[in-house]
Chains A and B, each alone.
Chain A
Amino acid sequence: MSIVSLARSVKSANAKGAPEASGAVRVATLFAVLIAANATLQQDVGTPSIRYALPAGLVVAFAFSYYARFRPGFVVKMFLAVGMLAASAHFVSQLGGIGQNAAAAQRPLAELFLWTQLLHSFDVPARRDLRFSLAASTVLIGVGGVLSIASDYAISLGLWGAAAVSALALMHRSELAELPRPTQVAAPPARWRAMPSRALATSLGLTLATSFAVAGLIFLFLPASGTARAFTFPASLPNVDRIPGGGLVNPSLGGNGDGNGNANDPTSTGKGGDTPRASFGYVGFSTEMDTAARGRPDDTIVMKVRASKPGFWRGQSFDHWDGRRWTASSDKTKVVNGDGAIDLPVFEGAVQMDDSNEFIQTVYVEKPGPNLIFGAASASKLYFPDKSVLVLPDGTIRSGVSLGTGAVYTVVSKRPPADPAALAALTFNPLLAGQGLGQPARTVYTQLPADMPARVADLAASVTSSSPSLLGKVQAIEDWLGKNTTYSIDIPSLPANTDAVDHFLFTDKVGFCEQIASSLVVMMRSLGVPARLGVGYASGERNPFTGLYEVKASDAHAWAEIYFPGVGWLTFDPTANVPFADDGQVPLARNGLTDFLASRLGPVLSAVGRVVLGAGLLAGVGFIAWIVRRLYRRRQALAARSWPMVWNDRLDHIGRKAGHHRAAGQTARSFAEAVGFVGTDWDVAFAALDQAAYSDTQVPDPTRAFADELLRRASETVSASRK
């Protein structure tokens, strides 16, 4: 293709189209653009002033575009070009402060796109331009979707879908209207004049319902989001409230005892005070965990996690057990710096791994909680807006700023290559149990209280005696706990001066995660195996629409972390047999859909279920009665109809089968001729029909039978020709 012909093609492609005459097309497109723009603005894109100005600007732009649709538009294009340059300059200036994290460019980019959409809306004279606007609105609604972590985005998406489908349908009608069409012979009766809009509404409703149903089916078979390599690592802090000293704070556990504390106080130590613990506060996110404490957090969503598979979102671990409380033997933190992306050190006992085991999680904080960075074990990199974090020897990460609502960070973890078969094949050697750990660490992770009843260790030894491997011993204890103890969050209080594990194993035999996990850790330690208690959150419920795990306060959890020589620390949850690290992949988008719907709709359904069921039964009975009555009336009406009427209807039916529709006022003879039913036989039939309809004389039965037979044969012929 020569340059000249290429230039001609480009010029032709950019030629101004004929102005779109349909106001309905413009209104529907405007609605789609408005909804998409609003959905994007809701995701903290742009300044507050833009959030009000942009929708108004879009309306003005569309109105201007309509009134200026016949003008050449050169001046407008110049104005738009200047506007685009200004918007681009604004975007470039915003990029200056985002650092290395590309995810931080998402919102400035979304804002630039909004400005582009607004400016473009001033120059949409033709249908093609409106189509471009509609496509741009699709991108905008997608941008909103990518940024959204809330379920109520479904409302925006649904409204946009309705507006976009309406716009497409109206554009198609407008396209059809440009074709020549038959002239209406006579105006339709007044009562039918509303029919086109009614027909359009019906058609739109059907199209929307079909699209929705097909989309639902497709969704069931689409792969889950976020299962490929991630390119963006969101991280943001709405407020920077620095925590002095680098210690652990948890405002959700109540005041700090100075009389001014509250649940949102970032300096709270979590050790109680005169402000009560928030309903979503968990005692495990403190400097100690007392297993004698009772009461569980409620179902408040505390954070949402974007991850390709479930996992334990680890907050910290405890290594010192005094028979009742868990504490950390060391609070010595190390400051790790980084600009946006912080490379975390490899901790003692961890195994060096390549990037193939990477597991990326983005945490969106919903409620103010501890300054712990939650993430799957073992975190190797952290995307965090603050320039530094504090790490402890066990891999616990604390932020130097409070983590309030709206804080976002991304953790890249590397999971140990745990193969159950390989682990099961490794024979347990007590002398090598802590191989890979230094002596101080071995001592810390095998520590037990001096006054621990001997029967705990005896039980561990007897339960695991028949298991030669370390994994087998862990599983043997898990099995024993599963068979001999019961899970309940409603347990009696712990008597004073009682060993909590001993009391749980031999007296109460009822407990929750803290008692169960503590038992596993203590029993493994009694065998000489390094172990510690991990606390954090269970994965939470996966929202199949947002793709996020919604972590409730009640998902706060404690589990055992057991050291495997040559592998590292592996997580075991004796409370519920949680699979190994690489299991639990979410392959399809629909995974968790039924649970999600049941949890959301279940309470509603149970409340109104009986009413609906009763109403449904009544409606069903009524419907059947209506059908029976209708059939009865039809039968009666058929019986009362004269032979010419029945014959006429049959003729209509056969004609329709042949692809012909009888026009209003068209005679039976004319219609039959149109279908192709001509000849002497038909003349006889029509003569008989006229005689029966308009004459007093009776049509002889043989003639009537002849006419009926003629119809029957015609019906057969039409049916045969259709095949």
Chain B
Amino acid sequence: MLRPSRVKAPALILTALALAFFGISRTSGSGWATVLVAALLGSVLAGAFLPMVRLARAGISIHVPTDGTVSLAVPLDIDAKSGLVADIPDLGTGQFHATKGTFFTRPAKRGVFARLAVELRTSSPLGMVEWRKTCVIKLAAPLEVGPFPTDVELADAAPIPDVGEEDLRGIRAYVAGDSSRKLHWPATARTGEMMIRETDGVTVAPVVIVVDLVGPEVAVEPTVSRAAGLALAALKRGAAVVLITAEPSGPVTGSVTSPLEVSRRLARAVVGPVYPQKGVAA
């Protein structure tokens, strides 16, 4: 809905001057002063209502990527008529001059945004009265803004299982090309020859991160950031990561294999029960 939001200094000054000249025209008899009053008021009214007309006809087109991270730049492809000032509070853009091009913003909050509320303002062309309206733009695909991961020192973190034990299949003599890491030192010591371990591969214990968010929205963000940091650190070390989160549809448990998946899962995470509740289908 269109509404005037601010009367700016030029409109106030010109109106004051028009009133002053009205008084002068009444007492001095100057016809030109009357004409000037009409001209000043005409400019003020044009300056007040042309922005309304412009804003009523204005639209804005925004293309956003599907993924973003809090505090990291996200490119927005904007297409709008010049003279508009836009603000997308969900993405923390602040006010910017909406013209055609790419605008980079750093989202201030995490979440999944299927629609974006865009506040459009303009006082063009004369900058006298600012009008405002809010457009809700449905995105082609939701923008999922994940948390900015906290740097986590693994030693300080919750116990994360390191690489697991290998299953020993047998021992054989060293042949050229074998890795020195695979030397089986007890057998080498017993036989006096270099002996090599033969194994069936590595079994890795998954890292399960339960993102149990409780409390007001602002308070849980550090927790989500820490969960992201943990998950990324674990992934970096080759561990399998399972995230247990609450989403608007209910608790979700699932493994994540890439930072993108971590970001998306945590973008969707909301305050709520992370385990199925009694009587509620999981």
Q: Report the interface size for chain A: residues with CB under 8 A from the other chain.
A: 81
The minimal Cβ–Cβ distance linking A169 to chain B, given in whole angstroms, is 5
Q: A181-B99, A219-B38 are in contact. Are A226 and B28 (CB under 8 A)?
A: yes
Residues in B neighbouring A199, C-beta threshold 8 A: 82
Q: A182-B99, A674-B140 are in contact. Are A215 and B39 (CB under 8 A)?
A: yes
B94 touches A180 (CB 8 A): yes
Q: How far is the CA of A153 from the CA of B31 in the complex (A)?
A: 11
Asked whether A430 is an interface residue with its Cβ less than 8 Å from the other chain, the reply is no
Chain B: CB-nearest residue to A207? B125
Which of B10, B34, B42, B104 has a CB less than 8 Å from the CB of A214?
A: B42
The minimal Cβ–Cβ distance linking B252 to chain A, given in whole angstroms, is 23
Q: A172-B124, A230-B28 are in contact. Are A210 and B137 (CB under 8 A)?
A: no
A145 touches B63 (CB 8 A): no
Q: A225-B26, A226-B25, A547-B29 are in contact. Are A139 and B97 (CB under 8 A)?
A: no
Per-position 1/0 for A531-555, Cβ under 8 A of B: 0000000000001111110000000
A141 touches B36 (CB 8 A): yes
Residues in B neighbouring A663, C-beta threshold 8 A: 61, 63, 77, 79
Q: Which one of A415-423, A486-494, A653-661 is at the B interface?
A: A653-661
B78 touches A182 (CB 8 A): yes
Asked whether B102 is an interface residue with its Cβ less than 8 Å from the other chain, the reply is yes
A-B contacts at CB below 8 angstroms, number = 221
Asked whether A175 is an interface residue with its Cβ less than 8 Å from the other chain, the reply is yes
A544 touches B123 (CB 8 A): no
Asked whether B242 is an interface residue with its Cβ less than 8 Å from the other chain, the reply is no
Per-position 1/0 for B3-41, Cβ under 8 A of A: 000000110011001000110111111111111111111
Residues in B neighbouring A327, C-beta threshold 8 A: none
A225 touches B31 (CB 8 A): yes
Q: How far is the CA of A445 from the CA of B208 in the complex (A)?
A: 123
Q: A183-B101, A674-B140 are in contact. Are A142 and B36 (CB under 8 A)?
A: yes
Asked whether B45 is an interface residue with its Cβ less than 8 Å from the other chain, the reply is yes
A225 touches B25 (CB 8 A): yes
The minimal Cβ–Cβ distance linking B23 to chain A, given in whole angstroms, is 8
B100 touches A182 (CB 8 A): yes
B63 touches A176 (CB 8 A): no
B43 touches A165 (CB 8 A): yes
Residues in A neighbouring B78, C-beta threshold 8 A: 182
Which of A182, A670, A675 has a CB less than 8 Å from the CB of B101?
A: A182
Q: How far is the CA of A224 from the CA of B124 in the complex (A)?
A: 33
Asked whether A385 is an interface residue with its Cβ less than 8 Å from the other chain, the reply is no
Within 8 A of B (CB), among A143-185: 144-146, 148, 153-154, 157, 161, 164-165, 168-169, 171-172, 175-177, 179-185
Chain A: CB-nearest residue to B78? A182
For the A-B complex with A145-B35, A176-B85, A179-B95 known, give 9 more contacts whose Cβ atoms are closer than 8 Å.
Answer: A157-B32, A157-B39, A165-B126, A176-B83, A181-B99, A211-B47, A222-B34, A663-B79, A676-B138
Q: How far is the CA of A204 from the CA of B137 in the complex (A)?
A: 31
Asked whether B273 is an interface residue with its Cβ less than 8 Å from the other chain, the reply is no
B41 touches A215 (CB 8 A): yes
B82 touches A211 (CB 8 A): no
The minimal Cβ–Cβ distance linking B187 to chain A, given in whole angstroms, is 63
B31 touches A212 (CB 8 A): no
Asked whether A138 is an interface residue with its Cβ less than 8 Å from the other chain, the reply is yes
Q: How far is the CA of A226 from the CA of B23 in the complex (A)?
A: 9
A228 touches B33 (CB 8 A): no
Q: How far is the CA of A217 from the CA of B38 in the complex (A)?
A: 8
Residues in A neighbouring B128, C-beta threshold 8 A: 168
Asked whether B50 is an interface residue with its Cβ less than 8 Å from the other chain, the reply is yes
B33 touches A131 (CB 8 A): no
Asked whether A524 is an interface residue with its Cβ less than 8 Å from the other chain, the reply is no
Asked whether B141 is an interface residue with its Cβ less than 8 Å from the other chain, the reply is yes
| Chain A residues at the B interface, C-beta cutoff of 8 Å | 131, 135, 138-139, 141-142, 144-146, 148, 153-154, 157, 161, 164-165, 168-169, 171-172, 175-177, 179-185, 196, 199, 203-204, 206-207, 210-219, 222-232, 306-308, 360, 362, 543-548, 589, 656, 659-663, 670, 673-676, 678
A231 touches B28 (CB 8 A): yes
Q: What 10 A-B pairs have minimum CB-CB distances, sorted nearest first? A: A547-B31, A226-B29, A215-B42, A182-B101, A145-B32, A172-B127, A673-B140, A219-B38, A228-B26, A659-B59
B103 touches A183 (CB 8 A): yes
Q: How far is the CA of A673 from the CA of B141 in the complex (A)?
A: 8
Residues in A neighbouring B240, C-beta threshold 8 A: none
Q: A131-B10, A138-B17, A204-B125 are in contact. Are A674 and B35 (CB under 8 A)?
A: no
B126 touches A177 (CB 8 A): no
Q: A171-B127, A181-B103 are in contact. Are A661 and B98 (CB under 8 A)?
A: no
Q: How far is the CA of A656 from the CA of B61 in the complex (A)?
A: 10
Asked whether B60 is an interface residue with its Cβ less than 8 Å from the other chain, the reply is yes
Residues in B neighbouring A184, C-beta threshold 8 A: 100-101
Residues in A neighbouring B104, C-beta threshold 8 A: 183
Asked whether B46 is an interface residue with its Cβ less than 8 Å from the other chain, the reply is yes
Q: A661-B59, A676-B138 are in contact. Are A219 and B27 (CB under 8 A)?
A: no
Residues in A neighbouring B98, C-beta threshold 8 A: 181-182
Residues in B neighbouring A230, C-beta threshold 8 A: 27-29
The minimal Cβ–Cβ distance linking A641 to chain B, given in whole angstroms, is 25
Residues in A neighbouring B34, C-beta threshold 8 A: 219, 222, 224-225, 547, 589
A660 touches B42 (CB 8 A): no
Which of B28, B99, B137, B141 has a CB less than 8 Å from the CB of A146?
A: B28
A142 touches B29 (CB 8 A): no
The minimal Cβ–Cβ distance linking B276 to chain A, given in whole angstroms, is 31
Residues in A neighbouring B33, C-beta threshold 8 A: 142, 145-146, 225
Residues in B neighbouring A660, C-beta threshold 8 A: 59, 61, 137
Asked whether B135 is an interface residue with its Cβ less than 8 Å from the other chain, the reply is yes
B28 touches A223 (CB 8 A): no
Chain B: CB-nearest residue to A221? B38
B35 touches A180 (CB 8 A): no
B37 touches A222 (CB 8 A): yes
Q: How far is the CA of A199 from the CA of B59 in the complex (A)?
A: 18
B102 touches A179 (CB 8 A): no
Residues in B neighbouring A675, C-beta threshold 8 A: 138, 140
Q: How far is the CA of A229 from the CA of B39 in the complex (A)?
A: 24
